[in-house]
Amino acid sequence: MAKDEDRIEIDRNAGFVGDYLLYLLAAASDAASTDFHAHVREQGLRVPEWRILACLSDEDGQMVTQLAQLALMEQSHLTKIIDHMASKGLVKRRSDERDRRRVRVFLTAAGRALGARLVDEAQAHEEEIIARLRPGEAALLKNALKHVHALYRAGSGITPAPVREPVKLETRPT
C-alpha cells in the first residue's frame, strides 16, 4: 500500500492549520461526534432530529426560531425537519395561544421516550470521552467552550480582521 516516500508525515503542529483555533474547534467537534452520530443514524434518526429531540427534552414546547438557533440550524431547515419528525410521530406542532404566528413544538410520548433514551446514551458516551481525558481537563474544556460560545453569540457586533478589497476571481459566474 504505502510505499516509503508516501509517508509524508503531516505534522499538524508545523503549519498554520494545526494550531489554528477555529480549525481545532471544528476538527475536535467533528472527531468527537462521529461515533455518536453514527449511533443516532442507526436508530433511524438524522443528526438534526436528534438535536431537536435533545433540545425538546430539556424544554418542551419551544418555538421554531428559538429551537433553530439552539440547535445551530436554519429556520427553514428546521421547519422541514419538524415536518419529518411529525410524520414519524415524534413531535407535534401547536400554535401558540397568545400569538398565533408562533408554532410551538411538543414531544409526543414516543418522542419523549426516544429522546430520554438517547440523552441517557449520550451522557454515557460523554462519560467515556471524559474518562479518556486527564482529570479536570473536561471541566476546563467545557468552561472554555462556554466562554467562547458566550463571547460570539449572534449580534455581538464583532467584525473580523480588517478587510481589504474584495477580490473577484470567478472565471465564470458562480
Partner DNA sequence: GGCAAAAATATGCGAATTCATATTATTCAG
Partner DNA sequence: CTGAATAATATGAATTCGCATATTTTTGCC
113-152: contacts with a second copy (CB under 8 A): 114, 117, 119-126, 128-130, 132-134, 137-138, 140-142, 144-149, 151-152
Nearer to DNA, 54 or 138 (CB): 54
- Is 25 a binder of a second copy (CB under 8 A)? yes
Q: Which does 1 bind (CB under 5 to 8 A by kind): a second copy, DNA, none?
A: DNA
Position 101 contacts a second copy (CB under 8 A): no
- Strands (E) across the chain are located at 62-63, 91-95, 103-107
Residue 109 contact, options DNA, a second copy, none, Cβ 5-8 Å cut-off depending on partner type = none
- Looking up cell 426516544 gives 114
CB of 38 to DNA, least distance (A): 9
Q: Which listed option, a second copy, DNA, none, makes contact with residue 139 (CB within 5 to 8 Å by class)?
A: none
On whether the CB atoms of residues 43 and 118 are closer than 8 A, the answer is yes
- Other CB atoms closer than 10 Å to residue 108's CB: what's the count? 15
Secondary structure (DSSP) of 23-78: HHHHHHHHHHHHHHHHHHHHTT--HHHHHHHHHHHHSSSEEHHHHHHHTTS-HHHH
Interaction residues for a second copy, span 62-91 (CB under 8 A): 66, 70, 72, 84, 87-90
